[in-house]
Amino acid sequence: MGSWDEASTESTIDGILKNIPRFRILCVGGSGVGKSSLINRVFGITEAKVSTYAPGEASIDQEFVSDENKYFVLHDSKGFEPGNNINFELAAKFLQERNDKKLLKDRLHAIWLCTETPRAGRRVLEGGEKKLLALAYKLGTPVVVVFTKYDLLEWCKRLEEEEEEEGLDEETLRTKSEMNARVALKASVDSLNRSTAVLNIPTLPCTGISVFQGYEGTIATLVDMTRNIVEERLKGDAWVTWAIAQRANLPMKIEACVDVYYRALTGITPGTGNMLLWECLAQVHRDIVTCWNFRDKSKILGGTEFMLLMLYLVQDLKDQSPTNPTPSLDKIRQFVQLITTSTISIAPPAANLGLTYFFVKWVSDAVLQHTPEVEALLMAYIIDLISVLKALFDLMLKPDLAGTINWEVLKGAFEDYERSNRRKDIHDSCRSLYGTRGQILSRENFRQMFKRLLDQSLGR
């Protein structure tokens, strides 16, 4: 058994990221509209990093990347003020040049047209913005219209209610102001749709957002809209890079994991004919970790120690009856060396986990085959890994953790899942599913079963 870190087969995610290493997005909008705050919120970076770039001052051709999230690249364009065509001409030239690029990674993957949520009858679109939408449609570039600072619209509606009806209780006031804000936003969306109809372009995805606490759902909606139009307009897997880059929509990350690895689980990943089982597990592990895009400077999540912790979780899926009564000393020595040569002094004692020789030998020697026991192990491993990362994601939301992975917080997430009844139920289901049938599932039955067990594990 070689090192987990030495698995030579190129993974599905590696292939996608070779073609599209960063999601390229253009933010269009005037100064003060809230573009920097939006970028910070969606991509999980700090305002200090974005303000250092001063995007409002920069050329639209300049690429802004963040050390905190390497999977996106930002271009910034000032808004299009009436009577001033300079900014539009620069943006139009940029769109055309990017559209002419041969490689998908160099093209523009999406545009966010940001405008403050209209209040008091303000126009939704200016002339330059309409021309930009027409050009983007002609070139096939995905666009989402983003109404920023939606919270201010709700606040205005609250003030109006307080003036019209004194003495309203807090719950009634909040309910009425939220409802009136939704009505006002719909009027703006209807106005936008009329404008696009005049331009002879299809209805555009648009949404109101706020970056403040309590409005997280608006950001998740924007992330979903972006994914949907990117998948619709662009060929290939640009949406997967988007799912990796964004840090605001957890279900999308889970969907990306399942979508990419369904091929591995059903034995249809290209080039896996002679792959060993441990190589497949290592590949799947690394790529699912990549999908989640945690801030992991020490690369703990993709390291051997954490992989072995996850391997320990699924050991119960394999019959432990000895198939060879004379263990290979070389095999044991190789495995012990593998799990004890850690460069991280605070790594967990993986060698003491209780991994049995017979399980290790099976994982080491088994060829990836479309068999019940292999399929059951892969299914359980991926569900377990996604569940642990979900628990880790929830822990990372705590303000005192500052968003950085360490062994202490990972241990908490791992133990939370390891000790749960959910894990036992998932493994029991996998054993029962394959143990009683003794045969593999059809693709559709497998898909349904995998989704049901994953939803069960995540409590969805």
Written as one string, the DSSP assignment of 228-260 is HHHHHHS-SSHHHHHHHH--S-HHHHHHHHHHH
Decide: 390 and 250 in contact? Cβ < 8 Å.
yes
Please check the confidence at residue 301 and state whether its pLDDT lies above 60.
yes
C-alpha 415/C-alpha 231 separation (Å) is: 37
Please check the confidence at residue 322 and state whether its pLDDT lies above 50.
no
Give tens-digit pLDDT for 202-217: 999 999 999 999 999 9
3-class SS string, 418-451: HCCHHHHHHHHHHHHHHHHHCCCCCHHHHHHHHH
Residue with tokens 């991509």: 43
Longest distance between any two alpha carbons in the chain, whole Å: 86
Query: What is the signed CA dihedral for 424, 425, 428, 429, rounded to 10 degrees?
Result: -150
How deeply is 391 buried, as exposed, middle or buried, from its count of CB atoms within 10 A (0-12, 13-18, 19+)? buried
In the chain, pLDDT over 90 holds for what percent of residues? 47
Give tens-digit pLDDT for 57-74: 558 999 999 999 999 999
> At 432, is the pLDDT very low, low, confident or very high (cuts 50, 70, 90)?
confident
Look at residue 319 in the predicted model and tell me its pLDDT. 64
Give tens-digit pLDDT for 252-297: 988 888 776 666 555 444 444 566 778 888 888 988 999 999 988 8
C-alpha 211/C-alpha 215 separation (Å) is: 7
Domains and CATH numbers, the chain: 4-12+251-458 (no CATH), 21-236 (3.40.50.300)
* Closest by Cα among 30, 10, 28 to 18: 10
Instruction: Provide the token pair at 33.
Output: 């509209």
Give tens-digit pLDDT for 225-256: 999 999 999 988 899 999 999 999 988 988 88
Decide: 368 and 275 in contact? Cβ < 8 Å.
yes
